[in-house]
Structure 1
Amino acid sequence: MEFHPYFIIYSGQQLPSYEEFYNNVMKKNIACLFRSQSLTEQWKSRKEWIANNTDDINFDHLVNKYGTLTVPVYNCNEKHFNSNTKTEMLFNEYVDYWRNVIKNDEQTLNTSNILYLKDWHLAQDSNCDDFYELPVFFESDYLNEYCQDEQITDFKFTYIGPKGSYTPLHIDVFGSFSWSANIIGTKRWLMIPEPYVKTLKQLIGEILPHNLYTLPNYKEIIEKVHGFEIIQKSGEILFVPSGYLHQVENIEHTISVNHNWFNACNLDRIYSNLMNALNDVQNEINDLKDDLMDEWNEMCDKILTIHFGMNRAYFLNIIRHIVTKRLLRRQSNEWEFRYKNDIECLSKIYGKILLNENFITKNNDDWKNCELLKNLLEKLTTSQKKISN
């Protein structure tokens, strides 16, 4: 195990316990790389997506299985706000492009657009999620648990891209955790810890570049904000903490599986980020408040969904759903360490919601939701006290 103030590496075959990972990584909100491939070596994707005894991608298998699916593709040569321009194509068309890149290698990359297939909901699109297994360290996942149970769009993604494809500098959606597992290939990550994001903006301005390495004094800047690089290889898994700025480059042809998620360790951060985003929206359209009257909250939530990715009702639904699930789990005696902090965390957030006029005065339905959540939490807390006694 190797240490850094904002980064830890588990390099041997001896993996940490869940409790150790919870306390030393997630609660401290530091990055973590699992160099041991034991977490991924039995995945179907690690066996079937790689050609036998080589480091080559098994394109024939992938096309055979997913060729007719429509996929989101980003042009790394074209900027679009803080991302890249996006289009769609059939997966087999994307593979044709990629095979041509591999055939011509550097010449193609230097003379044509670099296309990156990312944010692909492969498991949902293909109705098949058996190509990987969820590592135990990431099982406490309020966001995707809710999405799966409600059968709505999840936050589980597959990334596929040639050497040189990249994701610009960004903070993950909602300020969530994320984890990324390389099926094949190598990524280079540059991370700026959350405590130094404001410092970075003070040094270079609020509008951040797509790529910090393009700045003439990037080495000096990265040092001042305690930035660090991580090289992630095939079979390795990286945990990305909440609020860290990061940019990612594929330095080899690479396929990875990624999740965005949150749980008891960072739920309070997600709530704060949601409230800050709502405040920004309210300030931006404050001059319309008197005209909108009863439609004010509805308009704020619509803009909030576009601006932040979720609104107040969505967040409240997640909390209520997880409380209900934990109550059922507690009653069935399925209560492991990974869940024992949920009661305290969810109760704390509920207390903040009740004191927040942006929730309790929104509309009658949300107030009913709050009351239902209160009753569920009381049951859950009572159940826990009985077990403790």
Structure 2
Amino acid sequence: MLTSAFFLLIMLVGVPIGACLCLAGIVYILDAGDTVLFQSFPVQMFGGVDSYSLIAIPLFILIGEIMNGGGITKRLVDLALAFIGSVKGGLAYVNILANMLVSSIIGSATAQVAIMSQIMVPEMEKQGYDKTFAAGITVYGGMLGPIIPPSVMFVVYSVLAQVAVGDMLIAGIIPGVILTVLFFIVIACMGFFYNYPRTAKRTIRQRLHTVLTACPTLLIPIVIVGSILGGFANPTEAAAVGAVAAVLVGRYVTKEFRFATIPQILLKSAIYSAVVLFLVAAAAVFSWLLIYGKVPQATAAWIQTVAKDPIAFLLLVNLILLVIGTVIDGIPGLIMTVPILLPIATEIYGIDPRHFGVVVVINLVLGLMTPPVGLSFFVASAVTGAKPGKMFIVTLPFFLICCAALVLLSLFPSLSLALIK
């Protein structure tokens, strides 16, 4: 009880979540009176990041930074525009489709929202869209980032759950496509009530030129996902090759990447990677103390009194994680919940850990779009000036369809596992 109260207190006053986990662990050891545990504290932290799979995280982050500096994002947006054509609400469809293409490279919801808000929202405003709607739909498009591979959250989950990183990355493909299609349906339905402007017409020649110009940028996700699916490389190796591909495309195809920016790109990637990996190290200590305190067993006993079958359990987890995701970012949310919930899911209810991982990640990502915090809305607000609360209200149908997709994915594990060999 003392540990929980201390953890909530320091978290509410703004202490970073990684430090919260470590400090709460120290308070737990002092409260338990077993100071011998301090000897294992640094060992557990080091063991948490002593994993070859985690090298994929800084490499995926590096790919995103190189892509931003190489003008690749804008060409992917142009490619989406060429495919959509002149339809009512065309730029809204382009926004989602472009986010889907970009998500196969960036892999972070908040980073993707920040990047795409700068590109899509001003363009949609020029075409007559309401800024609040444009920013809100960009937020939901950014939700695809941690779902469609590569995904930093799936890599972290893989390490926490001790499952193959490649399996988790592949498991996100179909759910990502499903969400994209559902977003398209919402846009089409909303188009009956709102007079969305049409996209400017392009000739076949213009579209062909756009496709030929932008297609080389697709080499990056093809290299990453294709090498994993084809068995030519593991996710870490694929990420390394993808980084090289991003440099080559940015330097010799788009010709916007400059080698002089490499030190700055490496520094930004290193800072973000250090934050993520410290969270993983803190998670190792947190999980170790949870197991020592028999928290998973106590939680399992309570859940079994409420959920009698796997479906009921997953629906309960959806509610729990959605609430957690409203106040805690995705990766810290994984770190806090997976060590407790995963053993219950696999050992008591027989749920595939990869299927469970997809449900957990989508839940926590959706929490980034849910009040009272809604971190992604605040990121979009900082870039565009739109108000977070109004964004949520205007795009409420997207939130509801995401909840429906979560229920669908919970009921049908095959939607997550179909592509896994």
TM-score with structure 1 length normalisation?
0.26
Higher percent of residues as strand:
1
Higher percent of residues as helix:
2
TM-score with structure 2 length normalisation?
0.24
> More relative contact order in 1 or in 2 (CA 8 Å, sep 6+)?
2
